[in-house]
Structure 1
Amino acid sequence: MNSPSIPLDEAWQDKRWLWLLSPSIPLTFTSSLLAFVYTGQWWCMLLAPLIIHVLLPVLDRVLGEDFSNPPESAVAQLDADVFYRAMVWAYVPLQMIGTVLGAWIAVSQPLTWLGYAALVFTVGAINGIGIGTAHELGHKKETLDRWLSKIALAPSAYGHFFVEHNRGHHKRVATPEDPASARMGESFWAFLPRSVWGSLQSAWALEQERLNKQGHSVWHLQNHNLQAWGLTLLLFGALVAWLGWMALPFLLVQAVYASSMLEVVNYVEHYGLLRQRDASGRYVRCEPEHSWNSNHLVGNLLLYQLQRHSDHHAHPSRRYQALRHFAAAPQLPAGYASMITVGYLPPLWFAWMDPRVMAHYGGNLQRVNLQASARRRLMQRWG
């Protein structure tokens, strides 16, 4: 019998061929780079930010949401079908092509400052969304998937995400101890350095603990952080050896932008949500109610259903094609493309999301994950 919290749409249909949209992102954005090389018009490279911040929010609004869930009888077949894994694998080589082409353009083509910025945004977007691909791959047990995850993280120099997300964030999600869970009243610009530094520290500590238990030093070659960062050094070193030192500033700046794209998504996913403590003082198990969810169709097709984040956190091993909508999960008012744009603008974000956090908790501010520096203001507003 189906759980009443998981509505089953009898009209569910497998979106098999629509999943081709996911690896189409690096292909499309790389095409805009080729258009610049061919025409010399820097504005060709504005395609990526226009798609992310304009087209996708419009399409999400027009095409709406899809609340249907695959029946459990179909999940085993969906998991076994290699087509869905191939759709994730395909992103990685296309991502690398876009990164290499972008580095070549940065050092070999005449660029104004606006053109250089557009190039950074385009390649950074390929690799920022690539972190989402690494996220899907990194949760899997297969060796190929796990190494592809590390490779996908190499251009953003964010290889420690492989460790911290799986073993740190998933353990501490929606608690004040988690650097990647945003607090109500915390702006994205305050959250960003806290999440970046906290995640880095956590990833290092997690690997140190794991390796010490095995009798190894933290500097052992089995350190997943060192392996992932080594791939970044290999990639950047190869491009610098080929293109010269002028490639390095571009690679670093686009990596900063790429990692910031991950962090603004982190900011959206758990803003203000808090797991309560049980009678023993421990945090309750992570449930769908502890992650913001979105069923906007286009964004989910482009991001391997990352927006169905509630099911992902409640059931981390479930593959993207089988993720479900839960009625109990708090729903975002728009897809990620809209939410990250608003997230950059704190007054708009607070006006949009704070009432939703309070509605989720029935107006009880004591149940909310609060930013300490904003507590007085929030108490005056909501207390």
Structure 2
Amino acid sequence: MTTAVGAWRDAKRPLWPMALVVPALPFAAPLTATATGSGWGWWLTPVFILGVIPVIDLLVGDDRDNPPDTVVPALQTSRYYRWITYLFLPAQYAALVMTCAVWSGGVDLPGAAGLVLTAGLVNGIAINTAHELGHKREAVERWLSRVALAPTGYGHFFVEHNRGHHVRVATPEDPASARLGESYWRFWPRTVIGSLRSAWRLETSRHRLRGRSPWTWRNDILNSWAMSVALAAALGVAFGPGVLIFLALQALVGFSVLEAVNYLEHYGLLRQRNAAGRYEKVDPRHSWNSDRLTTNILLFQLQRHSDHHANPLRRYQTLRTFDVSPQLPAGYATMLLLALVPPLWRRVMDHRVLAHYGGDPARANTVPGYQAPSPTR
């Protein structure tokens, strides 16, 4: 809903810096580890993100306030919102350096697992910051997007998301759009491998159209990966070669978090073909939304995903919610956990997808041989 222009103000303006809580959380973990005298203290960040935030989401509830069109230009150009995304990056890198230092100093098994999950969750959520920055026209923001992607080694996301996913979203041709009846564990290899292949094809085609080899420093995939290699080399020199194992494990966690979010954002949704046989234009019906306030603050309103796909250049502070968008029953933090347990996920989501299409699975993006769930009494 849109509030009257004269009465509207950004009530969330003082809340947006809370997005920096995520990269700041690892710095509270040493205190917990010291107080408990156990490596379990390093589980503070995953417990907060995956346990506490869903509870806060439930208690705080939804926010459906939309900015009026007349204030959007001023919101778009305000540097206040932009600097919050910029500040995420030094906090992200400081957390990575700190966790590398702890790893190199030696930790017990619970501590090692907690460190991997901590760094992986922070850098996985940083991919969302990279996502926000990478959609912008300003060169500095696009460069910072690749800096945020470097710790997970997922620099090809910069190419595939903007030029692949946004073109093919909610179609069977998109590796990042999950199909009705497809579990996260089946989706994961399809999207990881498919997105990488697609990104390389897109970037190779771009360079060949300009009459040059893709093996150049101007290749956005190669220069993004070079950042990851340089970062790993620097941390390996600083903390010893043993830290490379930690970097690989946390990167795996990080990009798996991203793919879990991809999984839930378009699960089962399908753009229909028009009379010419082409897919209809992307609109707010083709992404799952959540209006949970807390997670929207922490994720720069990624959960207002329908507006993002319909208007990818809109900055996070201007994204809107729509009545026609299919709504998730909870915020991303909760839904991510559900996605890891396929029977629970299908019990919660499959009937919602079918309801979105009037009970007709043929109108949804389904896996071959999909069997609709029996109606519940």
TM-score when normalising by structure 2: 0.96
Aligned with 1:69 (options 62, 66, 70): 66
- The residue number in structure 2 matching 1:8 is 2
Letter in 2 for 1:18: L
Do the aligned partners of residues 12 and 352 (structure 1) sit closer, same or farther apart at CA in structure 2, a change above 3 Å counting? Answer: farther
2:194, 2:162 → 1: CA distance?
15
Do the aligned partners of residues 12 and 332 (structure 1) sit closer, same or farther apart at CA in structure 2, a change above 3 Å counting? Answer: farther
Do the aligned partners of residues 12 and 360 (structure 1) sit closer, same or farther apart at CA in structure 2, a change above 3 Å counting? Answer: farther
How many residues end up aligned between the 2 structures?
372
Aligned with 2:166 (options 160, 163, 170): 170
How big is the shift at 1:43? Answer: 2.2
- The residue number in structure 1 matching 2:83 is 86
- Report if the CA contact (8 A) 2:124-2:258 is conserved: yes
- The residue number in structure 1 matching 2:312 is 316
Letter in 1 for 2:78: D
Aligned with 1:123 (options 119, 126, 129): 119
Letter in 1 for 2:188: L
Write out per-residue CA displacement over residues 236-288 of structure 1, whole angstroms, 9 at most, x where no aligned residue: 00011121110100000000000000000000000000000000000000000
Write out per-residue CA displacement over residues 24-48 of structure 1, whole angstroms, 9 at most, x where no aligned residue: 2101233324654787532221111
How big is the shift at 1:60? Answer: 0.9
- The residue number in structure 2 matching 1:3 is none
- The residue number in structure 1 matching 2:225 is 229
Question: Unaligned stretches of 5+ in structure 1?
Answer: 1-6
Q: Tell me, yes or no, if structure 1 residue 205 matches structure 2 residue 184.
A: no
Do the aligned partners of residues 17 and 228 (structure 1) sit closer, same or farther apart at CA in structure 2, a change above 3 Å counting? Answer: same
Q: Tell me, yes or no, if structure 1 residue 42 matches structure 2 residue 36.
A: no
How big is the shift at 1:292? Answer: 0.2
Write out per-residue CA displacement over residues 2-29 of structure 1, whole angstroms, 9 at most, x where no aligned residue: xxxxx31336431111001112210123
Question: Unaligned stretches of 5+ in structure 2?
Answer: none
Q: Tell me, yes or no, if structure 1 residue 294 matches structure 2 residue 290.
A: yes
Runs of 4+ displaced beyond 6 Å: none
* Secondary structure of 2:276's aligned partner: coil
* Secondary structure of 1:17's aligned partner: coil
2:118, 2:270 → 1: CA distance?
35
2:259, 2:27 → 1: CA distance?
23
Do the aligned partners of residues 12 and 346 (structure 1) sit closer, same or farther apart at CA in structure 2, a change above 3 Å counting? Answer: farther
1:37, 1:120 → 2: CA distance?
18
Matches within 5 A, 1:1-383: 7-10=1-4, 12-14=8-10, 15-33=12-30, 35-36=32-33, 40-109=37-106, 111-372=107-368, 374-375=369-370, 377-378=371-372, 381=374
2:232, 2:109 → 1: CA distance?
22
TM-score when normalising by structure 1: 0.95
- Report if the CA contact (8 A) 1:60-1:335 is conserved: yes
- Report if the CA contact (8 A) 1:155-1:232 is conserved: yes
Do the aligned partners of residues 287 and 22 (structure 1) sit closer, same or farther apart at CA in structure 2, a change above 3 Å counting? Answer: same
